[in-house]
Structure formats: structure tokens, C-alpha cells
Amino acid sequence: MATSNDIKNGSVLKLEGQLWNVLEFQHVKPGKGGAFVRTKMKNITTGKSVDKTFNAGAKVEFATVDRSDYEYLYQDGTDYVFMDVKTYDQIMVADTVVGEDARFLLENMKVTIALNEGTPLYMEMPASVVLEVTYTEPGLQGDRSNAGTKPATLETGAEIQVPLFVDQGTKVKVDTRSGEYLGRVND
């Protein structure tokens, strides 16, 4: 069994029958008293975040997490179907696991899925994706500055804010974490 000294960002701990993903950790050695590890963790099933402190050297149980590359195939009801790019095995991932990332998910897109004993825990999208603008109001003639923005609907159905000069049919780069417009993409 491992100790709290082995905790790192991205580690998955098994505490009280629940799986927790370590978002941040800090080893603290005060002048008085024993050292400890301060963590910020997120419950993988509920999404709840908590701060937890472990004494240095305390026994903790790490969950086995396999991260693999998958390709998104299609949506089947509320589930999403992905294919392992190495073995071609298909898995169903619940919409609760995919979460907000679904708004930027396109067929054949490559993602990383973390599994624990065959159960999908969470999905990691690429940092940015290129999507086509399917609808936006036309910009006003002469209004080609970067000062203003307008709403635009992307091919996945997501709505983001884009500069006034972006037209329908334009491919744009979008940050998948924040949903921000990053720039136009020329084919």
C-alpha cells in the first residue's frame, strides 16, 4: 500500500469506497509538528470538490486507472460510443461522464478516457478544437474591429462569442476548457 507522500496531481485515490481525483497537492513541513500533505480532490462520481489533509506517511489506497486514446463514433440515446484506437473495442460512456465536453464533441474526434476496472471515470478533450460556424448574424459593413463580439452557433450546436468579422461557414479554433474563441482557421 502506498503512502500520502506518493500523492501527485492526477492521482486517483480510493477513500471510503469512493474514487477521488487529486486536482492539487502540496507537501507542507511546518517548523513545529509533523509534516502533512494538503490536497484538493474531486469526487469522480458526484463531481463534488473537497480539501483534505493527510499526515505525512499515512497509508492511502490508490485506484488503478488506465488512460487510453479513444475515437468518438456516435451518440446512442444518452450514451456516447467510443472506439479504442489500438484494440478497436467499443465502449459506451454515460452522458454524466462526458458532461459539458459534449458541446465540442465531433464524430471521429480523438479523446482520452480514464477507466477503473472497465468503468469510464472521466474524459479528457484536446485543449482546443476546430469547428465550423453554422449560424451567426452578419457583421455590419465597416465594422471590422476586434472591439465587439456576437453569438455564433457551431456545427456541434454549441454557442460561443466570436468577433464581429467572423461569418457563417468560417472555421474557428475553440478552447474546450473555457469555450472561448481562439482564432480563425484557414483551410
Which pLDDT tens digit goes with each residue over 24-57?
Answer: 999 999 888 889 999 999 888 787 899 999 998 8
Question: Which residues lie closer than 8 Å to 151 by C-beta, 6 or more apart?
Answer: 136, 137, 159, 160, 161, 162
Question: Which residues lie closer than 8 Å to 65 by C-beta, 6 or more apart?
Answer: 12, 114, 115, 116, 121
For the sheet with 159-163, list strands across it: 159-163, 149-154, 128-136, 171-175, 181-185
The pLDDT of residue 91 is 95
Which of 117-121, 126-130, 133-137, 170-174 is predicted with the least confidence, judged by mean pLDDT?
117-121
The pLDDT of residue 177 is 87
* DSSP helix/strand/coil, 131: strand
142 forms beta bridges with: none
- Residue 111's closest CA among 97, 99, 126, 121? 126
* DSSP helix/strand/coil, 6: helix
The pLDDT of residue 137 is 87
Confidence category of residue 117, pLDDT binned at 50, 70, 90:
confident
The pLDDT of residue 83 is 96
* Average of per-residue pLDDT values in the chain: 89
The pLDDT of residue 181 is 93
All structural domains of the chain, each given as residue ranges with its CATH number in brackets, are 2-60 (2.30.30.30), 66-124 (2.40.50.140), 128-185 (2.40.50.140)
Q: Average of pLDDT values for 118-145?
A: 82
| pLDDT at residue 82 tops 70 | yes
| pLDDT at residue 110 tops 70 | yes
76 forms beta bridges with: 79
Q: Average of pLDDT values for 102-122?
A: 91
For 114-145, give one letter per residue: b (16+ CB within 10 A) or e: bbbeeebbbbebeebbebebeebeebeeeeee
DSSP code string of 138-182: PPPTT--SSS-EEEEEETTS-EEEEETT--TT-EEEEETTT--EE
* DSSP helix/strand/coil, 104: helix
The pLDDT of residue 144 is 55
* DSSP helix/strand/coil, 32: coil
| pLDDT at residue 58 tops 60 | yes
